[in-house]
Amino acid sequence: MSQQAPVQPVAITGVGVIGAFGRGMDALHTALTEGREGVGRLTLWESALGEFPVGQYRGNLDKDLSDVPGMTPRLLKRLSRSDALALVAAHEAVGQSGADVSTAGAYVGQSVCGTLTSEALYVEARRRAKAGDTTKLDLTPAFVHEGANTLDRLADVFTLQGPTVSYMTACSSAANAIGLAADAIRAGRCDVMLAGGSDSLSRIAFNGFCSLKVVSPDGPRPFDSERQGMMVGEGAGVLVLESLEHAKKRGAKILGYVSGYGHSCDAHHLTAPHPEGKGAIAAMREALAMAGIGASDVGYINAHGTATLDNDRTEARAISEVFGEVAVPVSSTKRYMGHTLAAAGGVEAAVSLWALTRGLLPANLGLRNPLADAKLDLVAETREARSLRHVLSNSFGFGGNNAALVFTGSDHGP
């Protein structure tokens, strides 16, 4: 796709994040600067596959939720773990932004939703049946199963009156939610949006990826020639987006901009990416074109980099195709927090903003022997950026659902 006149960038005035690294941007900063891995043992339930590590949030979610205004006892009973992660991240983002979000909407990427709660009901029913007890259960917790529950709870807590949509495009869900929320602002549908994604660990997701034999026994090693697979994680990342006019009018501090967005579908295979990376290439090129920039303008690429054999090989080739001889620093941050599934684009949007505001590039943890499928400037250790005006963040999902976002630093916007 040829370069075009850039569209109006959308301001980012708040960011909230939670994951295996902890809660909040300060915790993320500590993990990224000190190289703290999020690799750990699964403790949310007993599993015969417990030897495979996960990126689990180790904090006290109940305590975290106590900091969120409006959390009534009735509301607390209607929360899944995914909902709770989203609320904590959104509260942080809204607090930092200072925007009146009562007229805002919310676009949220999800996949697991309330499955963890539904699984617990099923496990209890099975236990009772085997013991010969009644299997009549209080099914009230099952109401949290659907994805719309997160949006409903966000609307409850923040009294949102704008459009709310849940996106489920596998691991590109949050990135699509952010890109489409920015589009909604540009189209004049609203001035303020909450956008991002949230997903918790669940048995079906963890066991499913293990059954596909794509989970590593020692954690992910993105873009390493001896990588063995991914690590399932959980978390949430939420941005407060505003039209530039609205943000400037209220004197908001602008953290950065969503300046480009690309979305494509491989239509190749249920789980495997197109071997030539056609969809990934199309998404990256579209994002760059929307931002009105070329390959040489990008100072860092936050790769999807799941550490599976297919993804890293294909993504490396796709990056090489788009950027050619331009040596853009690349890293995947999956070893810090695991693959947070539908939340990945939201959590990694926070990483991208961290890079832009701090002038630092996060390390590609776990790298020992760089893959030879394509020549990439892989960031082996956290380092200062030479020039960082724009960051490209990739999120690629099952079914060939690809999304790419361009984030621009606050000093380089209009």
End-to-end CA gap in the chain: 24
Note whether 94 and 14 are within 8 A (CB).
yes
How far, in Å, CA of 309 to CA of 272, rounded? 10
The strand ranges marked E within 266-400 are 298-302, 329-331, 360-361, 377-378, 383-384, 390-397
The residue type found at 191 is D
> How many residues does the structure list for the chain?
414
- Which residue of the set 246, 263, 274, 304 is catalytic? 304
Quick count: other Cβ atoms within 10 Å of Cβ 160? 23
For 48, the 3-state DSSP assignment is coil
How far, in Å, CA of 105 to CA of 388, rounded? 31
Of 197, 227, 199, 190, the C-alpha closest to 315 is: 227
Of 100, 93, 322, the C-alpha closest to 195 is: 93
Note whether 406 and 259 are within 8 A (CB).
yes
Note whether 223 and 303 are within 8 A (CB).
yes
- Which residue of the set 171, 246, 274, 390 is catalytic? 171
Q: Is the dihedral of CA 311, 312, 316, 317 positive or negative?
A: negative
How far, in Å, CA of 232 to CA of 146, rounded? 21
Is 263 assigned a catalytic role? no
**DSSP character at residue 414:** -
Q: List, as one string, the DSSP characters of 171-236.
A: BTHHHHHHHHHHHHHHTTS-SEEEEEEEE---HHHHHHHHHTT-B-TT---TTBTT---B-BB-EE
- Which residue of the set 91, 246, 274, 339 is catalytic? 339
CA angle, 259 as apex, 257 and 261 as ends, to 5°? 125
Is 171 assigned a catalytic role? yes
Note whether 34 and 44 are within 8 A (CB).
no
Tokens, residue 37:
């891995």
Active site residues: 171, 304, 339
